[in-house]
Structure formats: C-alpha cells, structure tokens
Amino acid sequence: MKVHAFQRPEALLPAPDFCLTSAAGDTICASVYRQRLKQVLLFPSGSSPAEWAPALHAFGEHAEEFSRMGAVVLALVPAKPEEIRGIDRGLAYHYPVLADEGGRVRRAYESLLGALCGHHQCRPGSTGAVRTDRAVAVVHLHPVPRVRGSRVARGAIRRSGYEAWRFGVRGARATARGRVRGRRAQEATVSADKLAFIRDDIAALQEQGLYIHIRTIQSAQGPWTMVDGKKVLNLCTNNYLGFANHPKLKEAAKRAIETYGVGPAAVRSIAGTMDLHLQFEERMARFKGVEGAISFQSGFCANLAVIPALVEKEDGIFSDELNHASIIDGCRLSRATIERFAHCDPDDLERVLREKRQNYRRAIVITDGVFSMDGDVAPLDKEYEIAERYGAIFMVDDAHGEGVLGRGGRGIVDHFGLHGKVDVEVGTLSKAFGVMGGVVAGKKLITDYLRQKARPFLFSSAATPADVAACIAAIDVLEESTDLVDRLWENTRFFKAEMQRLGFDTGKSVTPITPVMLGEAPLAKEFSRQLFEEGVFAMALGYPTVPRGKARIRVMMSAGLERSDLEFGLEAFRRVGKRLGVI
C-alpha cells in the first residue's frame, strides 16, 4: 500500500461495513469479507502526537486481538519525522524499531520492511510500514481462524475496549448484514477449494517477482560445479574452506559408514549416542576453548533446542533486529517476550535492557556473530559487557564465523578474546565445515542441561556417523594448519578490492560474504541470469530475504578458488554490469 498523504477512511476503505466514532472525532472502521473481519483501520482525528496518542494507545492495546481474528490492522497517523516516537505509545509496541530515541528515524525506516517483514519471513503485506512526508502506515497481519458474521466482528471490536464508541455511519448495521448475506452464495462456491490460499499466494509471489526458482546441482560442490546441466564458476555456496568435497573428510565419512553404518536409528537419549558423537563434542569443545559442547542435527535445530530450554513465558529475550530466522523461530517456540534492539547497536541494547529488564524473571541477549546478508560483524565485546551488567545470559550464533574468524577459524568468540565469558555459542557444521549438523558450545553446566531439556536432542534422531566423522576430520585439518583460512581471506581481499575498483557497491561487509548491491529485485534477478549465461553461478537475493530496495547478488568467497577463477568471475561481473548500466 502506498500512502501519498493523510487520507480519510473513505479514501482507503471506500465502503466500510461499519465505522465507530468517538466523542473526540477519532474513527475506527472495519470491513467484512466472506463473513470474516478483514480490515480494521484507525484514523485519529488530531494532527499532533498530543492529540492522537491516546487513541493510538487504546487501539494498540487491542491490535493483537484483532490480528488474531485474521484482520489487517492499520493505523494511519499524520506525523512529521520528529514526531514518530509518539507512535511507540500506540500500535508500535509491536515494533520497537519505531521508538527511535537514538535519533535514527531515517535509517530505521530504510530498513523497516526488511527488519519487520523479510526478517520474519512473512508474505508481502503481512507486516511492514510505509512513510511519506505526511503520514505513517503500520500494518500487521496473522493468518488465523475466521470470525463468523459481521455482527460477531463488530461485537468483538466493541468488546475489545470500544464500548464507548458509537456508530458514525447511518445504516451501517443493515449494510453490513446485506453484504454478508450477498456474499454467502459466493463463499459456498469458493470455500470448497481448501487450498485456494496457496494458489493465491503463489500467484502473488510470481506477480511481484518474488517467486523463487531453484537451480539443481549435479556434481560435488566446488569452485566449478555442474548446475542445470552447465559447468559454471560457483560463487554462491557457504563452502568457505572447500570442505564439502575435501578428500580427508570424504575418507573419514567412508570409514565411519563401514564401522557404524549409515544412521544411528535412535535419538541420542535412548540408543543413538555413539562414541563418535562424544569424540566430536570433546574435540569441538577443545577447538573452541570452552568447557563443553553438544551436537545437533543442524544449526537451525541447535537454535530451536537451546532458546526454549533457557527461557520461558515469564522471561525476556533481547534480540538483534536482524537475527537469523532460526533464532526468531527459537524465540517464538520459547513463548518468552521478544524485545528487539537496533542492529549491531550496543547503546540501543543497553537502552532496551534498562527499560525492560526488570519486567522479566530471566533474560537472554541473542545476536548473530556474522550477519549473513550484509557480512557485518556484531560488536560482541560491547554487547557481552552490557548483558553482564544486567544479569542476562549471553548467546551468539556463529554460523558464518566458524572456520572464518578467529585463530585458524575458531570463530567470533576467539576473534574478540571472550573465551570463558560467552554463555552460549551456537554453530553450524554446514558452512565452513562443509557437512551437516549443529553444535552448542560454552559452559558445561549449560551443555549438560541441554542433554536433559533440548527437544531436538530428546526427540529427533542423532546426526549420522558419516557427518560426525567428517566434522572430526575438519577439526583435524584446521588444527594442523591455518592455510585454508589464510587463503580464504586472501581471496576475499582481492575480490572485494577489484569489485570496488570496477565501480560496484559491496555494502558494509567485513567478512568473505560480499553483497553486490543492485537495488530492485527484478534487476538483481536479471543480473544473476546473465551471469549464469557468462558461466558464473551467483544467485540474486531480494525481498523478503532482504529489505525492499536492497536486492543484491551475494558472492561467497572460498579458499578453493584460484586467482584465475576470481579473474574469470570479475570479468563476467564487469560485462554484465556494463550491459545493465550498473557500472
């Protein structure tokens, strides 16, 4: 929805089923579609925070209830940029990024759609906001059960705190009843297709250019890979060190299969813990310089395991607004309240902890170590100190730091010299380690506790012998030499410098993740398609993976790439960039 100016109800909802108007002139309107509360809109009558904040506050207290009914909840507020902060007392209690006490209003809005919609993997129109010089619109939607009948919908709104409001549209009751009766016949013909919502959603994705087309890999992962029948230079996997097809890892996996078979055939807590699992956990703890480690089936599973085990409904999670989807899902499963702080901003973390920490029994601060879309690094040392001051557990997800940062790839905790201080360090074995699996490392008290409480550990089969043995072999290689890590960084420095010399924008990355910023998703997709024709495999990333207007080609460096490979890729980027007018 584009908002070009402050508009009255009839402009955004031309024929509302009913409206309620307060004595102060504030208006709340709703529409009913197929006997379901479809939209709820608030139009405060005033033109300043002092005038519309009370109405927003009351509306915001019940916005979640409306959204549970399946309605789009929209508050349209006339405001100047410096007045945005007032929204925090109303609808924006869902969206802490809007409470911009640090003076970052413009930057917050630039990243809002990505932070609130793409970050949560929602569908277009589900969650987001738009701002113009004269208005702000905040939208929130949850897919939930229907509310039957306009009378029920209208009553629900009044029960939600609007008993004192009166109908402001003459005949609204009759109009609403007539519309619902008229729609029943239509609903009878449509409701038989129970999967219509999937078709509609796919059509919307295709129409907006957001439908994901998945290419097929037909060889082992490496610098040159067979993709859709074509041999191409591979610049988009997470195979940082070339371990995905490393001979020592393959040999270790083969030996494990000969000794242990192809699978454990049980969960870890019953009959699935093999001596291989224990060897890997002991080796990983030693490699990381921590007291203990526990392995899981994937890095995603590790986050789903550890967060709900450490915090519950009475607790608070203080989470970087751009944390990975696995962290977000782990937070949701815990049922703890999520308090977001501005991306990589220790000052904002401290502000949120200062204001909210006392509201919770336990608190945990969670951040990614390396952020996978932009390649920037969390200020871990500063965030750790703040978490300690407020008595919060401190957790970092080091998925893109393991094998990359620190001495010989020991990760972000080693990079910042925080050994023995970080409580929980989550890692994945599917990126630099090139295999499949996840790990939680840190204090032994916590890793032992997870063996009793972590649901993926207790209720899902253990990692396969081949995967575990290959991970042990990867640690062997990393402990023997830093050559692969050193080569990874040499390739990174060369490629980034040359791309910048050609005139490409590589964002704010300080890691081997190299975003080539292009702006709009259609341009990024066309750029990727033409790169593939040139013999380079580099996928486009657009909304909702990244914010609207921030589409990119994400290039991932690898130690396996030779200088000639990089030069081939650079020339392809140059040609396509010239053709498309990017450089």
80-89 tens-digit pLDDT: 433 433 333 3
Tens digit of pLDDT for each residue in 306-323? 999 999 999 999 999 999
Compute the distance between CA of residue 518 and CA of residue 534 in angstroms, rounded to an integer. 18
Domain edge (last residue) among 453, 480, 507: 480
129 found inside a domain = yes
Sheet holding 292-296, edge to edge: 292-296, 438-442, 424-428, 393-397, 363-368, 316-320, 337-341
Query: Is the Cβ–Cβ distance between 540 and 552 less than 8 Å?
Result: yes
Quote the domain boundaries for residue 52. 9-190
Domain edge (last residue) among 428, 445, 480: 480
Domain co-membership, 155 together with 299: no
Domain co-membership, 465 together with 496: no
Domain co-membership, 261 together with 393: yes
Best CA proximity match to 289, nearest among 407, 419, 406:
419
Distances in Å between the Cα of 511 and the Cα atoms of 233, 356, 491, 493 are 20, 33, 11, 9
Task: List residues with catalytic annotation.
Answer: 372, 400, 431
207 found inside a domain = no
pLDDT at 95: 30
Best CA proximity match to 243, nearest among 540, 476, 34, 15:
476
Domain co-membership, 536 together with 458: no
Tens digit of pLDDT for each residue in 214-267? 899 999 999 999 999 999 999 999 999 999 999 999 999 999 999 999 999 999
197 found inside a domain = no
Give me the sign of the Cα torsion angle 294, 300, 301, 306.
positive
pLDDT at 57: 59
3 found inside a domain = no
pLDDT at 44: 59
**Token pair listed for 436:** 């499949």
Domain co-membership, 168 together with 280: no
pLDDT at 490: 97
Domain co-membership, 296 together with 394: yes
Domain co-membership, 493 together with 466: no
CATH number of the domain residue 364 falls in: 3.40.640.10
Domain co-membership, 70 together with 169: yes
User: Which parts of the chain sit beneath pLDDT 50?
Assistant: 1-14, 76-182, 184-186, 188-190
Tens digit of pLDDT for each residue in 315-347? 999 999 999 999 999 999 999 999 999 999 999
Who's near 226: CB < 8 A, 6+ residues apart?
217, 218, 219, 232
Domain count, the chain: 3
**Token pair listed for 520:** 């709009």
pLDDT at 351: 95
pLDDT at 125: 32
Domain co-membership, 545 together with 401: no
200 found inside a domain = no
175 found inside a domain = yes
343 found inside a domain = yes
Angle (CA) 99 104 105, round 5°: 65
487 found inside a domain = yes
Domain co-membership, 359 together with 268: yes
Domain co-membership, 421 together with 452: yes
3-state secondary structure 470-498: HHHHHHHHHHHCCHHHHHHHHHHHHHHHH
Domain edge (last residue) among 441, 464, 480: 480
**Token pair listed for 537:** 């495999």
CATH number of the domain residue 513 falls in: 3.90.1150.10
Domain co-membership, 49 together with 173: yes
